[in-house]
Structure formats: C-alpha cells, structure tokens
Structure 1
C-alpha cells in the first residue's frame, strides 16, 4: 500500500526548503549565525507552523536565545516572503523553536563512548589479573 502524503506534510516540506534559502539570503541581522532548519511541523488547518532550528557551531545558551529572538521577530517578514514564493491561499504563521535533539544526541553519544571505554578498561584489568 502506498504511503499517504497529507497536504500539511507537503506544505511543511516546501516551507523548509524555502525558509532555508530565505534565512540565508534575506535576514541580514549580524546576531544570527548559520541556521539549520531541522524540521517544520504544520498544523492540520495550515494556520500555524513550528520551525525547529539549530545553530551551527553554537553552544552558548545566551547567543542561542538571542538568535531565537531574531528569528521570531523576523517571522512576519519571512512569512510575507514565503507568500511570494509558495502559491497558497494563506501562509501559516511561523513560530521558531530551538531543536535540542542534536545537542542531546551528542551528549548521549559521549556518555556511551565513556561507558564503553570504562568497560574495556575493566575487562583488560580482569584479564591481566587472571594471568
């Protein structure tokens, strides 16, 4: 059976592609660094869109918060630019959210690496003790 594609999914995909270009080319705020758009979730009634973003090479929470403020203040401008490029009756309102999944994934990966290293050192100590 073929997978269903809902209109909200298609709109979200088109918005993700367009927003990536618009933020890079049109938003000229020096406080905003390189932005990755991880996902866009559009409500079923196409009235609101949550845009999940991360910032390349940025770990400082204060700078992340500043960048999020810049994006949310530019949301109206970006929405108007989207309306020009995407042919829709109405373009969803944009709400930018910081996506912590990649940061959390890196933390978990570091913990797993640490546990594996610790386990290997315990096994090598046990093998040396048996000889």
Structure 2
C-alpha cells in the first residue's frame, strides 16, 4: 500500500526538478515559457503525468500544439536530466498533459463579466 506522504513528497520533488530543468538546462526558448502545475505518479511510480501550462510572451506566437511537440521531442533528454537529480531506483516515464484549468477559469470570468 502506498504511503500518501511519501507519494506526495516524490511528486513535489519531481515537479520542482522538472521546473528547474526546463528553465536552466534545456536550451529551448519555447520550453522556458512552460510552467509545471502538478505531477501525479501512477502505476507504482512507473509513469509521471506532468500537468503543464504556458505563458506566451508578446513577441512569441506559440500555442498548445507547438509546446506539446517540443516537450515530446525533448522528453528523453528531460528524463535523463531528471534521473541525475532524483534519488529514486527507477525514474518514471513522463507523460505531458496540458492543464486547461486556467483557460476554463478565464472563460468563466468572461461569462460573468458579460452578464
């Protein structure tokens, strides 16, 4: 049986390290705009679902498909860099999922503002 405290700690560490990797170690301007909102470990730490969002700067024309493509292209490198930082026996495979909660919140605010 999984210990929720240990599970939460692992998820938090992976989230923090992924954020640092994207900001400091990956040489990709588009991935520097990515923000990790949550990490969930699944199947006894075999898979880490990484929920992300991004902020498009004024001089960039990026969308979710472009960001997802860049994340998928760099996934193996990101996992390799993550393995160097974690003290886990097995580093989970990464699955990047776009977190649309901010988009939904903005849509709700817009609907309320229109009334």
Is TM more than 0.5 here? yes
Q: TM-score range by the shorter chain?
A: 0.7 to 0.9
TM-score (norm 1): 0.75
TM-score (norm 2): 0.85
| Higher RCO (C-alpha under 8 Å, 6+ residues apart) | 2
Deviation at 1:28, TM superposition (A): 1.2
Deviation at 1:5, TM superposition (A): 3.1
- Quote the residue 1:56 is aligned against: 55
- Distance in 1 separating the partners of 2:103 and 2:61: 12
When Rg is computed on C-alpha atoms for both structures, the one with the higher figure is 1
Give the alignment of 1:1-131 within 5 angstroms.
5-57=4-56, 63-115=63-115
Unaligned 5+ segments in structure 2 are none
Deviation at 1:31, TM superposition (A): 4.0
For the aligned residues, what is the CA RMSD?
2.1
Deviation at 1:14, TM superposition (A): 0.4
Number of residue-to-residue matches in the alignment? 111
- Distance in 1 separating the partners of 2:80 and 2:44: 19
- Quote the residue 1:119 is aligned against: none
